[in-house]
Amino acid sequence: AQSVAQPEDQVNVAEGNPLTVKCTYSVSGNPYLFWYVQYPNRGLQFLLKYITGDNLVKGSYGFEAEFNKSQTSFHLKKPSALVSDSALYFCAVRDANNAGNMLTFGGGTRLMVKP
Amino acid sequence: KAGVTQTPRYLIKTRGQQVTLSCSPISGHRSVSWYQQTPGQGLQFLFEYFSETQRNKGNFPGRFSGRQFSNSRSEMNVSTLELGDSALYLCASSLPRDSGNTIYFGEGSWLTVV
């Protein structure tokens, strides 16, 4: 079984400050890890993924995430937050050893960036 | 390149009715998955289809079913609707499984059961 935990329901940050959205995962095999963002009344938009290789992954809109195998974490980061980054963020995991494309999602973290 | 297209975007149904939702994947994508999103349960995997065959299934009752056509388009059906089926239903598509293909989502179909 695989699972994802996003320990913070909401993260508040001032515009221009760095932001971190936390994610930890559990999977029996090797993990494929993803971050998605959801704006109000919209679907999920892909931000970035970790498959293998460099632990620091860079994605869309200046976001990046760091894979930490020992801590089973994949935290999302951005050096300087924008008000337009305010949205719902989801971390997801897929077991690389299993056939298929089934994602298990965390509960989501609402990011609020204040001017 | 067009994204994942879902229809209808919004619909209202009455308890006991059935509903069919449609999904057109990104061109060339042969894997199609469906997810249910609710405030209480979050995002939950329903099922995945690849080459017209169901490859994975989530923990949902048999009232939830799906199929995939030869052109990779997919439909999901929910029979005997219950109030708790009110949700955003998201379709996702991806290339055949390889070393970490990205899974792309559509805008979703908002289902309200009254």
Tell me, what's the pLDDT at B98? 58
Q: What is the mean pLDDT of residues A79-104?
A: 91
Residue of B nearest to A105 (CA): B43
Tell me the pLDDT band of B95, cut-offs 50, 70 and 90. confident
Give the angle subtended at the CA of B85 by the CAs of B84 and B89, to the nearest 5°: 140
Asked if A101 and B101 come within 8 Å (Cβ–Cβ), the reply is yes
Residue-wise pLDDT for B21-45, tens only, equals: 999 999 989 999 999 999 989 999 9
Name the residue facing B94 among A52, A101, A106 (closest C-beta).
A101
Interface test with A, best of B46, B48, B103 (most A CBs within 10 A): B103
Q: Which of A28, A49, A24, A63 is nearest to B100 (CA)?
A: A49
Mean pLDDT, chain B, rounded, equals: 93
Tell me, what's the pLDDT at B111? 98
Residue of B nearest to A31 (CA): B100
CA distance B95 to B29: 5
pLDDT at residue B93 greater than cutoff 70: yes
Asked if A45 and B105 come within 8 Å (Cβ–Cβ), the reply is yes
Residue-wise pLDDT for A6-62, tens only, equals: 999 999 999 999 999 999 999 988 899 999 999 998 999 999 999 988 999 999 999
The total of other beta-carbon atoms located within 10 Å of residue B66's CB is 22
Residue of A nearest to B99 (CA): A51
Asked if A44 and B31 come within 8 Å (Cβ–Cβ), the reply is no
Answer for the pair B106, B3: CB distance below 8 angstroms, yes or no. yes
The total of other beta-carbon atoms located within 10 Å of residue A85's CB is 19
